[in-house]
Amino acid sequence: SAVISQKPSRDICQRGTSLTIQCQVDSQVTMMFWYRQQPGQSLTLIATANQGSEATYESGFVIDKFPISRPNLTFSTLTVSNMSPEDSSIYLCSVRTGGIATNEKLFFGSGTQLSVL
C-alpha cells in the first residue's frame, strides 16, 4: 500500500497567480499521476510523472500551464500557473504500486480544492 500526503488541502487564489501542490508518498514509486476533477465530474488525467524523465501531458494540458517536478521517487509537485477562474477544481495526485500487474493498485491523495477569484 501507499500513503499519500497532499498539500495544501485547499486554497483560494487570485487570478494571475500560481499555486504549487505537493504530493509526498511514504514509499518509493515509479509512476505518479496528476488528475483534475471539476465539480460534479469524473477525474481527468493531466499528466504522468516518472522520476528521471519529463512528464507526459495529456491532450489539452501543457507544461507551461501545469509544470511538474519529480525530483525523487517519493515526491512530486504540480504548479497551476497564471490561474484563472476556469482553473477552480480539485487536483489529485495518484501513485501506482505493486510491481507486477497482479498486485498493482492505485492510491490517491486527498486532493487540493482550488478556488480562483
Partner 1 sequence: DAKTTQPNSMESNEEEPVHLPCNHSTISGTDYIHWYRQLPSQGPEYVIHGLTSNVNNRMASLAIAEDRKSSTLILHRATLRDAAVYYCILLGGATNKLIFGTGTLLAVQP
- Torsion sign, CA atoms 87, 113, 40, 94: positive
**111 lies in the site for partner 1, by CB under 8 A:** yes
Interface residue with partner 1 among 22, 24, 44, 88 (CB under 8 A) is: 44
Residues 87-106 that bind partner 1 (CB under 8 A): 92, 94, 96, 101-102, 104-106
Q: How many alpha carbons lie under 13 Å from residue 34 in its C-beta half-sphere?
A: 32
> Cis bond leading into 71, ω under 30°?
no
Contact map string, positions 10 to 39, toward partner 1, x by CB under 8 A: -----------------------x-x----
